[in-house]
Structure 1
Protein backbone atom coordinates (compact mmCIF):
# COMPACT_ATOMS: atom_id res chain seq x y z
CA UNK A 1 0.00 0.00 0.00
CA UNK A 2 1.22 3.51 -0.78
CA UNK A 3 1.92 5.91 2.07
CA UNK A 4 0.27 9.29 1.65
CA UNK A 5 1.50 12.46 3.32
CA UNK A 6 -0.98 15.27 3.84
CA UNK A 7 0.62 18.64 4.50
CA UNK A 8 -1.67 21.17 6.17
CA UNK A 9 0.09 24.52 6.20
CA UNK A 10 0.02 28.26 6.42
CA UNK A 11 2.87 30.78 6.56
CA UNK A 12 3.68 29.96 10.20
CA UNK A 13 2.93 26.27 10.71
CA UNK A 14 2.91 23.03 8.75
CA UNK A 15 1.36 19.85 10.09
CA UNK A 16 2.17 16.55 8.38
CA UNK A 17 -0.36 13.74 8.53
CA UNK A 18 0.23 10.22 7.24
CA UNK A 19 -2.17 7.56 6.07
CA UNK A 20 -2.27 4.50 3.85
CA UNK A 21 -3.95 3.90 0.51
CA UNK A 22 -6.36 5.77 -1.71
CA UNK A 23 -9.03 6.06 0.97
CA UNK A 24 -6.49 7.37 3.50
CA UNK A 25 -7.02 4.92 6.31
CA UNK A 26 -5.52 5.37 9.76
CA UNK A 27 -4.68 9.05 9.38
CA UNK A 28 -2.56 10.49 12.18
CA UNK A 29 -0.34 13.52 12.69
CA UNK A 30 3.31 12.59 12.47
CA UNK A 31 5.19 15.89 12.44
CA UNK A 32 4.83 19.65 12.94
CA UNK A 33 7.04 22.39 11.57
CA UNK A 34 6.72 25.96 12.78
CA UNK A 35 8.10 29.34 11.80
CA UNK A 36 7.36 31.93 14.47
CA UNK A 37 8.84 34.79 12.42
CA UNK A 38 5.84 34.58 10.08
CA UNK A 39 3.58 35.60 12.95
CA UNK A 40 5.56 38.77 13.65
CA UNK A 41 4.45 42.20 12.50
CA UNK A 42 6.40 43.93 9.75
CA UNK A 43 7.84 46.51 12.16
CA UNK A 44 9.24 43.65 14.26
CA UNK A 45 10.91 42.03 11.23
CA UNK A 46 12.87 45.03 10.00
CA UNK A 47 15.62 46.71 11.96
CA UNK A 48 15.04 50.23 10.74
CA UNK A 49 12.61 52.40 8.86
CA UNK A 50 13.36 53.15 5.22
CA UNK A 51 15.42 56.25 4.58
CA UNK A 52 14.36 59.50 2.99
CA UNK A 53 15.48 61.06 -0.26
CA UNK A 54 15.11 64.31 -2.17
CA UNK A 55 12.33 64.33 -4.74
CA UNK A 56 14.52 65.93 -7.43
CA UNK A 57 17.82 67.67 -7.81
CA UNK A 58 16.26 71.14 -7.81
CA UNK A 59 13.43 70.54 -5.33
CA UNK A 60 13.60 70.79 -1.60
CA UNK A 61 10.85 68.26 -0.81
CA UNK A 62 11.84 64.98 0.83
CA UNK A 63 9.97 61.70 0.59
CA UNK A 64 10.19 58.44 2.46
CA UNK A 65 11.62 55.60 0.45
CA UNK A 66 9.63 52.40 0.24
CA UNK A 67 10.89 49.00 1.28
CA UNK A 68 12.07 47.02 -1.71
CA UNK A 69 10.45 43.84 -0.38
CA UNK A 70 7.68 42.89 1.99
CA UNK A 71 9.20 41.39 5.17
CA UNK A 72 6.16 39.16 5.75
CA UNK A 73 6.42 37.78 2.21
CA UNK A 74 10.12 37.10 2.76
CA UNK A 75 9.34 35.08 5.90
CA UNK A 76 6.51 33.23 4.14
CA UNK A 77 8.88 32.29 1.31
CA UNK A 78 11.59 31.26 3.76
CA UNK A 79 9.17 28.90 5.52
CA UNK A 80 7.87 27.56 2.19
CA UNK A 81 11.48 26.73 1.29
CA UNK A 82 11.94 24.95 4.64
CA UNK A 83 8.78 22.87 4.14
CA UNK A 84 9.78 22.07 0.55
CA UNK A 85 13.21 20.89 1.71
CA UNK A 86 11.60 18.62 4.32
CA UNK A 87 9.29 17.15 1.69
CA UNK A 88 12.19 16.61 -0.72
CA UNK A 89 14.18 14.82 1.97
CA UNK A 90 11.26 12.55 2.88
CA UNK A 91 10.48 11.84 -0.77
CA UNK A 92 14.11 10.93 -1.48
CA UNK A 93 14.09 8.59 1.55
CA UNK A 94 10.94 6.90 0.22
CA UNK A 95 8.89 7.90 3.26
CA UNK A 96 5.84 8.71 1.11
CA UNK A 97 4.64 7.93 -2.40
CA UNK A 98 1.76 10.42 -2.74
CA UNK A 99 1.40 13.95 -1.41
CA UNK A 100 -1.67 16.06 -0.69
CA UNK A 101 -1.28 19.75 0.14
CA UNK A 102 -3.91 21.70 2.07
CA UNK A 103 -2.70 25.27 2.52
CA UNK A 104 -3.75 28.86 2.81
CA UNK A 105 -3.99 30.22 -0.76
CA UNK A 106 -1.01 32.60 -0.52
CA UNK A 107 1.17 29.95 1.11
CA UNK A 108 0.07 27.31 -1.40
CA UNK A 109 1.42 29.48 -4.22
CA UNK A 110 4.73 30.03 -2.42
CA UNK A 111 5.06 26.32 -1.67
CA UNK A 112 4.35 25.37 -5.30
CA UNK A 113 7.22 27.58 -6.41
CA UNK A 114 9.64 25.99 -3.94
CA UNK A 115 8.79 22.32 -4.51
CA UNK A 116 11.37 20.14 -6.20
CA UNK A 117 10.02 18.84 -9.55
CA UNK A 118 10.12 15.19 -8.37
CA UNK A 119 8.14 16.08 -5.26
CA UNK A 120 5.70 18.19 -7.28
CA UNK A 121 5.10 15.15 -9.48
CA UNK A 122 3.92 13.17 -6.44
CA UNK A 123 1.24 15.77 -5.53
CA UNK A 124 -2.15 14.19 -6.17
CA UNK A 125 -4.43 16.88 -4.72
CA UNK A 126 -4.30 20.49 -3.55
CA UNK A 127 -6.86 22.27 -1.41
CA UNK A 128 -6.58 26.05 -1.04
CA UNK A 129 -7.90 26.44 2.52
CA UNK A 130 -6.36 27.48 5.79
CA UNK A 131 -7.33 24.73 8.21
CA UNK A 132 -4.12 24.48 10.25
CA UNK A 133 -6.09 25.11 13.42
CA UNK A 134 -8.28 22.03 12.91
CA UNK A 135 -7.52 19.87 15.87
CA UNK A 136 -8.02 16.33 14.63
CA UNK A 137 -7.69 14.07 11.63
CA UNK A 138 -11.47 13.58 11.36
CA UNK A 139 -12.06 17.29 10.77
CA UNK A 140 -9.24 17.39 8.24
CA UNK A 141 -10.61 14.36 6.38
CA UNK A 142 -13.87 16.25 5.70
CA UNK A 143 -11.94 18.76 3.57
CA UNK A 144 -10.31 16.10 1.39
CA UNK A 145 -11.67 14.18 -1.60
CA UNK A 146 -12.95 10.64 -0.96
CA UNK A 147 -10.02 9.11 -2.83
CA UNK A 148 -6.66 10.86 -2.72
CA UNK A 149 -5.23 9.33 -5.89
Structure 2
Protein backbone atom coordinates (compact mmCIF):
# COMPACT_ATOMS: atom_id res chain seq x y z
CA UNK A 1 0.00 0.00 0.00
CA UNK A 2 1.39 3.38 -1.01
CA UNK A 3 1.57 5.87 1.86
CA UNK A 4 -0.55 8.99 1.50
CA UNK A 5 0.86 12.52 1.66
CA UNK A 6 -0.32 12.76 5.27
CA UNK A 7 1.36 9.47 6.24
CA UNK A 8 4.62 10.57 4.63
CA UNK A 9 4.62 13.95 6.37
CA UNK A 10 3.79 12.44 9.78
CA UNK A 11 6.68 10.00 9.50
CA UNK A 12 9.29 12.28 7.96
CA UNK A 13 7.99 15.85 8.48
CA UNK A 14 9.02 16.74 4.91
CA UNK A 15 6.37 18.17 2.59
CA UNK A 16 8.50 17.02 -0.37
CA UNK A 17 6.13 14.11 -1.00
CA UNK A 18 5.49 12.18 -4.20
CA UNK A 19 4.02 14.40 -6.90
CA UNK A 20 5.24 17.65 -5.34
CA UNK A 21 6.73 20.02 -7.89
CA UNK A 22 9.82 22.08 -7.14
CA UNK A 23 10.94 25.26 -8.87
CA UNK A 24 14.68 25.85 -8.43
CA UNK A 25 15.67 29.26 -9.81
CA UNK A 26 18.12 32.11 -9.81
CA UNK A 27 18.09 35.13 -12.10
CA UNK A 28 19.39 33.24 -15.13
CA UNK A 29 18.46 29.56 -14.80
CA UNK A 30 15.39 27.66 -13.65
CA UNK A 31 14.53 24.01 -13.23
CA UNK A 32 10.96 22.87 -12.76
CA UNK A 33 11.06 19.37 -11.28
CA UNK A 34 8.64 16.79 -9.96
CA UNK A 35 9.37 14.47 -7.05
CA UNK A 36 8.77 10.99 -8.44
CA UNK A 37 10.12 9.46 -5.23
CA UNK A 38 8.63 9.91 -1.78
CA UNK A 39 9.34 12.07 1.26
CA UNK A 40 11.90 9.57 2.60
CA UNK A 41 13.72 9.17 -0.71
CA UNK A 42 12.97 12.15 -2.94
CA UNK A 43 13.90 11.77 -6.60
CA UNK A 44 13.55 14.94 -8.63
CA UNK A 45 12.88 14.64 -12.35
CA UNK A 46 13.21 17.74 -14.55
CA UNK A 47 9.98 18.70 -16.32
CA UNK A 48 11.28 21.98 -17.77
CA UNK A 49 14.60 23.82 -17.89
CA UNK A 50 14.98 27.52 -18.73
CA UNK A 51 18.13 29.55 -19.33
CA UNK A 52 18.53 33.23 -19.97
CA UNK A 53 21.63 34.85 -21.40
CA UNK A 54 22.30 37.76 -19.07
CA UNK A 55 25.78 39.25 -19.43
CA UNK A 56 27.18 41.48 -16.69
CA UNK A 57 25.88 45.04 -16.57
CA UNK A 58 29.18 46.45 -17.90
CA UNK A 59 28.64 44.48 -21.12
CA UNK A 60 25.06 45.68 -21.56
CA UNK A 61 25.36 49.43 -20.98
CA UNK A 62 26.29 51.50 -24.00
CA UNK A 63 26.90 54.90 -22.46
CA UNK A 64 28.40 56.55 -19.43
CA UNK A 65 25.86 57.60 -16.78
CA UNK A 66 24.09 60.85 -17.67
CA UNK A 67 24.58 64.17 -15.89
CA UNK A 68 22.33 67.16 -15.36
CA UNK A 69 22.72 70.72 -14.08
CA UNK A 70 21.55 71.50 -10.57
CA UNK A 71 19.87 74.72 -11.59
CA UNK A 72 21.60 78.04 -12.15
CA UNK A 73 24.79 76.99 -10.31
CA UNK A 74 27.78 75.32 -11.96
CA UNK A 75 27.21 72.09 -10.06
CA UNK A 76 26.32 68.97 -12.01
CA UNK A 77 24.90 65.71 -10.68
CA UNK A 78 25.21 62.22 -12.09
CA UNK A 79 22.16 60.19 -13.00
CA UNK A 80 22.22 56.59 -11.87
CA UNK A 81 22.72 54.24 -14.81
CA UNK A 82 20.13 51.58 -15.59
CA UNK A 83 20.94 48.16 -14.12
CA UNK A 84 20.31 46.07 -17.24
CA UNK A 85 21.41 42.86 -15.52
CA UNK A 86 18.85 43.30 -12.76
CA UNK A 87 16.10 44.22 -15.23
CA UNK A 88 16.80 41.01 -17.16
CA UNK A 89 16.58 38.99 -13.93
CA UNK A 90 13.27 40.66 -13.07
CA UNK A 91 11.93 39.84 -16.55
CA UNK A 92 13.07 36.23 -16.10
CA UNK A 93 11.15 36.03 -12.79
CA UNK A 94 8.07 37.42 -14.55
CA UNK A 95 8.41 34.80 -17.30
CA UNK A 96 8.67 32.07 -14.64
CA UNK A 97 5.54 33.32 -12.88
CA UNK A 98 3.62 33.24 -16.19
CA UNK A 99 4.84 29.71 -16.93
CA UNK A 100 3.75 28.55 -13.45
CA UNK A 101 0.32 30.12 -13.93
CA UNK A 102 -0.21 28.32 -17.24
CA UNK A 103 0.74 24.98 -15.69
CA UNK A 104 -1.38 25.54 -12.58
CA UNK A 105 -4.33 26.58 -14.73
CA UNK A 106 -4.00 23.30 -16.67
CA UNK A 107 -3.85 21.39 -13.34
CA UNK A 108 -0.31 20.09 -13.97
CA UNK A 109 0.61 20.33 -10.29
CA UNK A 110 -1.19 20.56 -6.97
CA UNK A 111 1.76 21.25 -4.66
CA UNK A 112 4.76 23.51 -5.32
CA UNK A 113 7.94 24.29 -3.42
CA UNK A 114 9.85 27.35 -4.62
CA UNK A 115 13.60 27.36 -4.03
CA UNK A 116 15.19 30.54 -5.36
CA UNK A 117 17.91 33.08 -4.81
CA UNK A 118 16.56 35.50 -2.19
CA UNK A 119 15.99 38.46 -4.54
CA UNK A 120 14.39 36.28 -7.22
CA UNK A 121 12.17 34.67 -4.57
CA UNK A 122 10.99 38.15 -3.62
CA UNK A 123 10.26 38.99 -7.26
CA UNK A 124 8.32 35.75 -7.70
CA UNK A 125 6.27 36.39 -4.56
CA UNK A 126 5.16 39.71 -5.97
CA UNK A 127 4.28 38.33 -9.39
CA UNK A 128 2.76 34.86 -9.01
CA UNK A 129 -0.95 34.53 -9.59
CA UNK A 130 -3.21 33.58 -6.68
CA UNK A 131 -3.91 30.24 -8.40
CA UNK A 132 -0.20 29.42 -8.13
CA UNK A 133 0.19 30.96 -4.67
CA UNK A 134 -2.56 28.69 -3.32
CA UNK A 135 -0.45 25.67 -4.31
CA UNK A 136 2.84 26.87 -2.79
CA UNK A 137 3.56 24.79 0.29
CA UNK A 138 7.07 26.09 1.01
CA UNK A 139 9.51 28.78 -0.07
CA UNK A 140 13.25 28.49 0.50
CA UNK A 141 15.68 31.38 -0.12
CA UNK A 142 18.53 29.24 -1.47
CA UNK A 143 20.56 29.24 -4.68
CA UNK A 144 20.79 25.61 -5.84
CA UNK A 145 20.56 25.88 -9.64
CA UNK A 146 24.10 24.60 -10.25
CA UNK A 147 23.89 21.61 -7.90
CA UNK A 148 23.15 18.00 -8.93
CA UNK A 149 19.46 17.08 -8.57
CA UNK A 150 20.08 14.47 -5.87
CA UNK A 151 21.89 17.09 -3.78
CA UNK A 152 19.09 19.61 -4.44
CA UNK A 153 16.52 17.09 -3.15
CA UNK A 154 18.63 16.30 -0.09
CA UNK A 155 19.17 19.97 0.79
CA UNK A 156 15.50 20.84 0.32
CA UNK A 157 14.39 17.90 2.51
CA UNK A 158 16.91 18.78 5.19
CA UNK A 159 15.90 22.44 5.22
CA UNK A 160 12.19 21.66 5.29
CA UNK A 161 12.48 19.08 8.08
CA UNK A 162 14.70 21.37 10.15
CA UNK A 163 12.00 24.05 9.87
CA UNK A 164 9.23 21.63 10.92
CA UNK A 165 10.96 19.27 13.33
CA UNK A 166 9.68 19.34 16.92
CA UNK A 167 11.87 21.17 19.45
CA UNK A 168 14.33 19.08 21.45
CA UNK A 169 13.45 18.40 24.99
TM-score (norm 1): 0.83
Q: Aligned partners of 2:115, 2:25: CA distance in 1, in Å? A: 6
Partner of 1:140: 152
Q: Aligned partners of 2:115, 2:24: CA distance in 1, in Å? A: 5
Q: Aligned partners of 2:69, 2:76: CA distance in 1, in Å? A: 4
Q: Aligned partners of 2:30, 2:23: CA distance in 1, in Å? A: 7
Aligned residue pairs total: 143
Partner of 2:10: none
Structure 1 gaps, min length 5: none
Q: Aligned partners of 1:70, 1:84: CA distance in 2, in Å? A: 21
Pairwise mapping of residues 1-149 of structure 1 onto structure 2 (< 5 A)?
3-20=19-36, 23=39, 25-37=42-54, 40-57=55-72, 59-67=73-81, 69-136=82-149, 138-145=150-157
CA positional deviation for 1:20: 4.5
More strand per residue: 1
- Kept in 1, the 8 Å contact 2:37–2:43? The answer is no
SS at structure 1 position matched to 2:123: helix
SS at structure 2 position matched to 1:49: coil
Q: Deviations over 1:40-69 (max 9, x none)?
A: 121323332332212221x223332223x5
TM-score (norm 2): 0.74
Using CA pairs under 8 Å that are at least 6 residues apart, name the structure with larger relative contact order, 1 or 2. 1
